[in-house]
């Protein structure tokens, strides 16, 4: 684990007025790269402090997994003194990021025009539900709403013929947070080269609409007004974990080599030779329902262990269908340091990180660093570097 001073964002200070998941995911990524992230919380704290399992009040698991490595200060933004405190802290910030709705952020005098008038070279990042130029601007947005509105929920219905469904993960929040983080990184590079700050707006709806359409634009890529939408390989009902004789398995028979090997290992090379629908990518693209149904029928005849051994030996991509609990004991994740252990006051917290070498740290208690920053700013006009 790296010391903050050796990390890529060492010396960068971020004033973070985000809450829930989207914004905190963004700023946790930046904290992991060494930025000093000052998380500004209202007197009641970030609502996610109460979500998920917890060992102490206000330190719920959902909060911990999006706020590691940050500093927490409590500021009442509804009070004039609280707004003045933020304006003082802005003087030493490189990035200001929030996910407060436009009308509310303007009411407290922290809108883009006001902040950039105070700090012309700051990077002002605004994370919203919808782009600020369109008719949906200012609407409240949550992950479930965006999954539905972006078309993601309907894809389950198209594939299965059943009801629309939500992916049981906060994908809109997290994907938008990751998108915002890399947009801020680009803005920091731009400022390093030119000395200029930037205004950024990253919207959940547009982020997820791009995510869905990039897979499913289909014929409308060439004629926006007509043609089929959807990528048939993703929408066939036979693209799913396949049932075996004793469980389920994930298998993707994808390229020409995979398909020839598949029929070789099941002892039926003649079917591959006789049926052109298996032999080329172009032919398979017109026959996904048929070719995946064949795979499903074959895999049902043997056990999961049999197929994992047989298909792996043939270099056909396959994997067991793990439960979430299985991930905690996965030998690969354990060996790569994906699971990180943190200690605080004798208690232990585990965290997951897909970025090797990222700075690991505990999450702050509510207002844990208020005295370090707020009182110092009132006496010196500048929050202390840490």
The reported pLDDT for the residue numbered 351 is 82
**Same-domain pairing of 193 and 283:** no
CA distance 332 to 368: 36
Minimal CA–CA distance to 189: which of 9, 358, 31? 9
CATH (domain of 100):
3.40.50.10540
Residue 315: partners with Cβ closer than 8 Å, 6 or more residues away? 257, 258, 261
**Same-domain pairing of 203 and 248:** no
Minimal CA–CA distance to 364: which of 76, 89, 69, 98? 69
pLDDT at 144 over 70: yes
- The DSSP symbol for 374 reads I
Weakest mean pLDDT among 8-12, 196-200, 297-301, 375-379? 375-379
Assess if residue 221 is contained within a domain: no
The reported pLDDT for the residue numbered 375 is 67
Residue range of the domain that includes 99: 3-211+337-380
The reported pLDDT for the residue numbered 356 is 60
**Same-domain pairing of 135 and 195:** yes
Looking at residues 97-102, what average pLDDT do you find? 95
The reported pLDDT for the residue numbered 233 is 95
- The DSSP symbol for 371 reads I
Torsion angle defined by CA atoms of residues 278, 279, 285 and 290, in that order, rounded to the nearest 10 degrees: -10
**Same-domain pairing of 55 and 203:** yes
pLDDT at 379 over 70: no
Handedness of CA 250, 254, 258, 264 (dihedral sign): positive
**Same-domain pairing of 200 and 251:** no
What are the pLDDT digits (tens) for 345-355?
767 778 888 77
- Length reported for the chain: 386
What are the pLDDT digits (tens) for 277-332?
999 999 999 999 999 999 999 999 999 999 999 999 999 999 999 999 999 999 99
**Same-domain pairing of 12 and 113:** yes
CA distance 266 to 306: 11
**Same-domain pairing of 273 and 205:** no
Assess if residue 234 is contained within a domain: no
Quickly list H helices, 92-203.
102-107, 112-118, 143-149, 152-160, 171-194
State the CB neighbour count (10 A cutoff) for residue 228: 10
The reported pLDDT for the residue numbered 386 is 39
Looking at residues 81-85, what average pLDDT do you find? 95
Domains contained in the chain, number: 2
CA distance 386 to 384: 6
pLDDT at 384 over 50: no
CATH (domain of 300):
3.30.1540.10
Residue 188: partners with Cβ closer than 8 Å, 6 or more residues away? 9, 12, 94, 95, 123
What are the pLDDT digits (tens) for 122-138?
999 999 999 999 999 98
CA distance 316 to 299: 13
Assess if residue 219 is contained within a domain: no
What are the pLDDT digits (tens) for 150-206?
999 999 999 999 999 999 999 999 999 999 999 999 999 999 999 999 999 999 999
Assess if residue 180 is contained within a domain: yes
**Same-domain pairing of 160 and 282:** no
State the CB neighbour count (10 A cutoff) for residue 267: 7
Assess if residue 218 is contained within a domain: no
Minimal CA–CA distance to 93: which of 374, 361, 386, 383? 383
Assess if residue 329 is contained within a domain: no
**Same-domain pairing of 258 and 357:** no
Q: What angle do CA 136, 142, 148 make, to 5 degrees?
A: 75
Mean pLDDT of the chain: 92
**Same-domain pairing of 297 and 373:** no
CA distance 156 to 162: 7
Assess if residue 104 is contained within a domain: yes
Weakest mean pLDDT among 220-224, 260-264, 293-297, 301-305? 220-224
The reported pLDDT for the residue numbered 6 is 83
**Same-domain pairing of 103 and 201:** yes
pLDDT cut 70: percent of the chain above it = 94
**Same-domain pairing of 146 and 290:** no
Rg, the chain, Cα only: 25
State the CB neighbour count (10 A cutoff) for residue 40: 24
Structure tokens belonging to residue 62:
């959902």
Assess if residue 45 is contained within a domain: yes
Look at residues 272, 294, 320 and tell me which one is the last residue of a structural domain: 320
Weakest mean pLDDT among 10-14, 259-263, 335-339? 335-339
pLDDT at 380 over 50: no
């Amino acid at each position: 684990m790296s010391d903050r001073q050796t990390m890529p964002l060492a010396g960068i200070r971020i004033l973070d007025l985000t809450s829930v998941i989207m914004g905190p995911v963004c700023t946790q990524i930046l904290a992991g790269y060494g930025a000093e992230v000052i998380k500004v919380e209202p007197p009641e704290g970030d609502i996610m402090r109460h979500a998920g399992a917890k060992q102490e009040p206000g330190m719920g698991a959902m909060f911990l997994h999006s706020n590691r490595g940050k500093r927490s200060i409590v500021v009442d933004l509804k009070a004039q003194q609280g707004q003045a405190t933020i304006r003082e802290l802005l003087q030493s910030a490189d990035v200001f990021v929030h996910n407060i709705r436009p009308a509310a952020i303007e009411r407290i005098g922290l809108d883009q025009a006001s902040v950039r008038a105070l700090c012309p070279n700051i990077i002002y990042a605004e994370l919203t539900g919808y782009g600020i130029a369109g008719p949906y601007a200012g609407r409240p947005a949550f992950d479930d709403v965006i999954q539905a509105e972006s078309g993601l929920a309907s894809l389950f219905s198209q594939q299965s013929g059943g009801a629309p469904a939500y992916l049981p993960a906060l994908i809109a929040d997290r994907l938008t947070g990751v998108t915002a983080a890399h947009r801020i990184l680009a803005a920091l590079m731009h400022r390093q080269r030119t000395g200029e700050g930037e205004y950024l707006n990253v919207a959940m709806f547009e982020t997820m609409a791009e995510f869905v359409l990039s897979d499913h634009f289909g014929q409308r890529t060439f004629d926006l007004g007509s043609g089929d939408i959807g990528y048939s390989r993703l929408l066939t009902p036979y693209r799913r974990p396949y049932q075996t004789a004793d469980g389920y398995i994930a298998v993707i028979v994808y390229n020409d080599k995979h398909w020839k090997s598949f029929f070789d290992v099941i002892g039926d090379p003649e079917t591959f030779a006789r049926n052109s629908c298996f032999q080329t990518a172009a032919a398979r693209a017109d026959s996904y329902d048929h070719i995946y149904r064949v795979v499903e029928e074959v895999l049902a005849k043997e056990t999961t262990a049999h197929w994992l051994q047989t298909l792996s030996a043939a270099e056909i991509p396959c994997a067991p269908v793990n439960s979430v609990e299985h991930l905690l004991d996965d030998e690969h994740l354990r060996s790569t340091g994906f699971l990180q252990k943190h200690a605080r006051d004798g208690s232990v917290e585990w965290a997951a990180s897909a970025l090797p070498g990222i700075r690991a740290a505990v999450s702050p208690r509510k207002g844990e660093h208020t005295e370090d920053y707020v009182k110092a700013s009132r006496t010196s006009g500048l929050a202390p570097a840490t």
